[in-house]
Amino acid sequence: MDKINTITKMPQQITVENLLEMSQRIKTLVHHGLVFAVQEDQGGIRSSRITLENNQIYMHCLQDQLPPPHAHTLQVSEVVGAMDPSSTLVHLDLAWGGSTRGRVHIRLSPNTPAARQFVLLCTGQTGVSYRNTKLHDVWNKGRPGECVLGGDYEGKGGAGGAGIIDICGGQYRGSYRAGDVGWGYCGAAKAAQFGITTRDREGARRFPVAFGEVVSGLEVVRAAANHSDITQVTVVDCGIVLNQ
């Protein structure tokens, strides 16, 4: 009880700089689930957990709930704004069969509209996100160029996933390597959808542009591609990595 009382008596406001320094004091707060990022808009106050896992600091997707009464809070805009736009790392947690199978880390291309949209949909800043969405197809399953498709946050089985910003501009490269994360829809109706290539195919153009690459967890995506029904695979959590 003395330890808990000491923690809860700490000043309620911390800064992003405090968080990134990750002193023992901050580690204690994070370990006890007492650090949250918050955002207030017309829909009210939403919050996202801040966690420390394997020495990486995660801001998870915003949810429609208040932080705990004794939580130390930061503004989401301050947390995201402190990130280096040239080195943005996000994560997707995939689950099927009643359990989470692993975490996929994706390094996004700097200063591209598609990458900015992906960050918004991993954090939920605009009110919609990839959290609790289903993967909906595997293109070229079992063959070179295999690609897992997801991102339909509207739940239309691959027919939805409207873009939340215009992503048609920017400089992108062709997608053909295993681990590439890309998009193929410039039209607004499906522009939030994405594909993760799981098998190399030189010159393959299923997704004409790539805006990121998987840096860890590709084996999780490949396992999802091999699942008997890809529509049973869910993105159960997503967010950004703060210390990269």
Q: Which residue ranges make up each domain of the chain? A: 2-81, 89-241
Beta bridge partners of 238: 92
Distance CA 101, CA 103 (A): 7
As a CATH number, domain 89-241 is 2.40.100.10
The pLDDT tens digits along the chain (244 residues) read 455 545 445 545 789 999 999 999 999 999 999 999 999 988 789 999 999 999 999 999 999 999 999 899 999 999 998 887 778 999 999 999 999 999 999 999 887 899 999 999 999 999 999 999 999 999 999 999 899 999 999 999 999 999 999 887 777 777 778 999 998 776 778 999 999 999 998 755 555 688 999 999 999 999 999 999 999 999 999 999 998 7
- How many angstroms separate the CA atoms of 226 and 228, rounded? 6
Q: Are 162 and 154 in contact (CB under 8 A)?
A: yes
Query: By three-state DSSP, how is residue 224 classified?
Result: helix
The number of residues making up the chain comes to 244
Contact between 112 and 171 (Cβ < 8 Å) = yes
Helix (H/G/I), strand (E/B), else coil: 196? strand
Angle at 156 between CA 45 and CA 228, to 5 degrees: 110
